[in-house]
Each structure stands twice: as C-alpha cells, then as structure tokens.
Amino acid sequence: MKQLLKTIVLTAGLLTPWLTSAQTDWPSRPVKIIVNGAPGSPGDYTARLLADGLAQTFKQPFVVDNRPGANGILGTEFAAHQPPDGYTLLLTYTAAQVVNPYIYDNAKYDGIRDFTAIAQLGSGGTLLVVPTKIGARNLNEFVTYLKSRSNDPLSYGSWGVGSGGHLSMEVLLLKTGQHMTHVPYRTMNSAVLDLAAGRLDSAFLPMATARPLLDKGSIRAIAISGPSRHPDLPEVKTMTEQGVSFELAAWYGLFASGKIPPAIAHKLNAEVRRQLTQPELQDKWPRMGFTEFPLKTAEEFAETVRQDAGKWSEIVRKGNIKAE
C-alpha cells in the first residue's frame, strides 16, 4: 500500500509540470471556432472578426467552422462532445445556449454543464418590427391592433421554435394577454423575406438583420426589447418604457467545449476583452447589432449564463413552449 501511494504521488509530481506546460503553451496548434449559424449570419461575422484578432495575438490559425441547423442545436451538440482541451471553441447566442435544452427533448447538451463560459461579446435587445402596411407606430398602438384582430389573429415569424424571435414575442403576448399565430422558419432570411413582402405581420429581429429593410422603408420598428435603446434608432423606445417590462438582453458568447483549464479560459477572456476595446475595431463590433459591450471576466459571464438560463426557463414554462 505504501509503495502504491508512493507511486501515485510520484506520478502526480511528474504530471504536474506537463499539465502546467500544456496550459501555458496553449495554443500550440490551430484552434477551431464552431459557429451554429450559416455563413453571412451575425454570428458568423462576429466569429470571423474575433478569429482574425485571436490568430494575430496567439500566432496560430483560428478556423471558423459553420454548422448551422435546428436552431443552433447541430453546431452546439458537435462542440459539446469535443475534447476539453481548449482547441474547440463555440461562438453562440442566448437561445441556442440556454433555452434549447428546455424546449427540445432531443437536445443532447447542457449549455452550462457541458461548456466553459469564456467571454461575452455584446448585449442588447431585438427590434419589434411590422410591415409599413400596418399602421402601428408604437407598442401601445400595436397591442390595440392585436385586440381588434382577436378573431383573426396576426402572424409573426421567427427562425424556429425556441429562437430569440419566438421567445421575445411570447413574452410580449404573455404580458399583454394577446394571441398571435407563430410561423417558424428554417432560417432567419426566409422569415425576413416574407416580412418584407407583407406575408408576415410582425417579427422580432436583430438590428443587423432589420437594418436593410428599415433603410428601404419596407418595415417599421416600433419597440426594442432589453434594457436600453439602440444608438442608431434612438427614437425607438424600449418595451419597458412603453409599459411592457422586458429587461432581458440577448448576447453572443464564446464558450469552450467541456471544462477546460482555468488558465486557458482566463487567457482567452483577457484577449477577447482587449479586442473589444481596440480603437480600430470600434466601428466593427456594433455591426453585430448590440447596444452594449460589457467587459466581463469569465466567471462573471458564467454567472450571466446561469441567471439567464433560469429566467428564460421560467418564460418557457409559463408559455408552455415545446418543440413539436
């Protein structure tokens, strides 16, 4: 027994320098960033901007790997089952990370247990938009219009059951006691096309997605979710300002598969925060569509993820939202 304990202690002593060296030397080879959105999506744009900066700093390629589908489930599941060594990262969004496991019985991951939260990239609300054929110019007028159409409910589109667009509208309907017909699409672009053509009556859209249609005048923004207005549309009031409390904000986040060594998480977090403050990038980050860019530590972001999971799961429960 003494010999066995001696062997264990000796082995641990030999392994400790190797483990420390592995963490210090990271990355010693290319790192993959999984994006659970399609090429050209806001998440893809964010990942590629981030990858360029990380590659310059760490002197290794950071390769973006797009794996869209099933409201982010396909890419997230793939990332969740990779080795916890810091060489597979995930660039994802709120709904895919903390909502899907409550909605989809076939989601084979836990957004908290199966990942290490690294860094938050942006925070903000989504725009409630309507085609210009609908006369509503603010939230009160929109709710009044919903009431007048109670026997012939309006439609709203989203990019899938459990997506941010779906859940945001469910919050509005729950708080106002109204009803609308949900039309889930396979992709955000498909929903946007029908909205612009007037085949849909409304939707919640990220600023980056809504901006081209707003500029063309084919849709109108009447409210924004989250705690603050968007600087590019300062005249559009928050939902809370218009009498319907909705302080939850959406975010993009960088995660690592599994529970990686804290030293790697802290190294990555420090570099992401540095990039968010670089003067030459200040005109690029807002293209994600967010209003704020909080500089949180890895631990602070992990706490945000835990809190948001609890809040969104309560909304899912109250709305009885389940994937069909």
Q: Per-residue pLDDT for the chain (324 aa), expressed as one digit of tens each?
A: 455 444 444 445 544 444 444 456 899 999 999 999 889 888 899 999 999 999 999 999 999 999 998 888 999 999 999 999 999 999 999 989 999 999 988 889 999 999 999 999 988 899 999 999 999 999 999 999 999 999 999 999 998 888 888 999 999 999 999 999 999 987 778 888 899 888 999 999 988 889 899 999 999 999 999 999 998 899 999 999 999 999 888 899 999 999 999 999 999 999 999 999 988 888 887 777 787 889 999 999 999 999 999 999 988 888 888 876
Locate 125 and state its tokens: 């609300």
Q: Map out the domains of the chain with their CATH numbers.
A: 2-124+250-319 (3.40.190.150), 127-224 (3.40.190.10)
Bond into 83 cis (ω within 30): no
The whole-number pLDDT of residue 318 equals: 85
DSSP for residue 241: T
Residue 233 to residue 286: CA distance in whole angstroms: 13
Q: How many CB atoms lie within 10 A of CB 274?
A: 12
DSSP for residue 55: H
Cα torsion 107, 111, 114, 115: sign: positive
Task: Compute the radius of gyration of the chain from its Cα atoms.
Answer: 22
Nearest to 34 by CA among 51, 59, 56: 51
Using DSSP bridges, classify how beta strands 88-93 and 31-35 pair: parallel, antiparallel or unpaired.
parallel
Residue 228 to residue 137: CA distance in whole angstroms: 19
pTM of the complete model beyond 0.85: no
Residue 324 to residue 313: CA distance in whole angstroms: 17
The whole-number pLDDT of residue 76 equals: 96
Average pLDDT score over the chain = 89
Residue 170 to residue 61: CA distance in whole angstroms: 41
Locate 155 and state its tokens: 């439609």
What order of strands is seen across the sheet that includes strand 219-224?
181-184, 155-158, 203-205, 127-131, 219-224
CA distances from 85 to 32, 243, 258, 265, 305 (A): 11, 47, 8, 10, 21
Is residue 184 within 8 A of residue 324, CB to CB? The reply is no
The whole-number pLDDT of residue 284 equals: 80
Task: Let me know how many helices (H) and strands (E) the chain has, helices first.
Answer: 11, 10
Tell me how many degrees the CA angle 197-203-206 measures, rounded to the nearest 5.
Answer: 105
The whole-number pLDDT of residue 161 equals: 83
Locate 312 and state its tokens: 């969104």
Nearest-10 Cα torsion for 166, 171, 177, 183: 0
Tell me how many degrees the CA angle 41-46-47 measures, rounded to the nearest 5.
Answer: 95
